[in-house]
Amino acid sequence: MYFQTFKQITKLLGQMDTWFDKANDYAKSRSFDPNVFVGLRLAPDQFPLSRQVQIACDTVKRGAFRMAGKEVPVQEDTEKTVDELRARIKSVISYLDTFTEKDFEGITSRTVPYPSPAPQWKGKTMTAHDYFMEHVIPNFFFHTCHVYAILRHNGVPLGKHDYLGSITHR
């Protein structure tokens, strides 16, 4: 299930990438610079779109590498344009594509550092399973849905299909 959830998350990151096609189209139709989206927020004391994308990306990248017991590749948060954010998303999809079911075997005995830089958490650990359930999944969705919400709030005509992508049916 860990691997399968990361596969589903990879799919949703691919969907996020497509939202920026609609964002670019919308900006063009209204004759504004699509990179305006990068700095938009839902509240003045909430992160802008760029940071929401970066955290969604980092949450799952760190999640997969830590849970697999591998060193996490570091990426700087320097994106200032829609194209740079899309490249960041695609880079994380590429990272996730390197994982196989085997990487998550034996996870039940693995622990990870508590995922907060705050001093009170120094030295604390979580089981890889708790980290996955209580940090990786809810935070990935939180920031991904905020990317969607910021775009939608600002006029980009996104719908549920843009979020979910195609559904496997019989």
Residues that bind a second copy (CB under 8 A): 1, 4-5, 8, 12, 42-43, 46, 111, 114, 121, 124-127, 130, 133-135, 137-139, 141-142, 145-146, 148-149, 152-153, 155, 160, 163-164, 167-170
3-state secondary structure of 100: coil
For a second copy, the closer CB: 84 or 155: 155
Q: How many CB atoms neighbour CB 59 within 10 A?
A: 23
| C-beta of residue 51 within 8 angstroms of C-beta of residue 6 | no
Task: Supply the minimum distance, in Å, between the C-beta of residue 124 and a second copy.
Answer: 5
Question: Burial of 138 by CB count in 10 Å (0-12 exposed, 13-18 middle, 19+ buried)?
Answer: exposed
Task: Supply the minimum distance, in Å, between the C-beta of residue 148 and a second copy.
Answer: 8
Task: Supply the minimum distance, in Å, between the C-beta of residue 59 and a second copy.
Answer: 12
| C-beta of residue 56 within 8 angstroms of C-beta of residue 144 | yes
E strand spans, 17-115: 111-113
| C-beta of residue 24 within 8 angstroms of C-beta of residue 32 | no
For a second copy, the closer CB: 46 or 80: 46
Task: Supply the minimum distance, in Å, between the C-beta of residue 90 and a second copy.
Answer: 20
For a second copy, the closer CB: 87 or 164: 164
Task: Supply the minimum distance, in Å, between the C-beta of residue 120 and a second copy.
Answer: 11
Q: In angstroms, rounded to a whole number, what is the distance separating the alpha carbons of residues 160 and 33?
A: 25
Nearest to 141 by CA among 52, 37, 81: 52
For a second copy, the closer CB: 109 or 168: 168
For a second copy, the closer CB: 69 or 113: 113
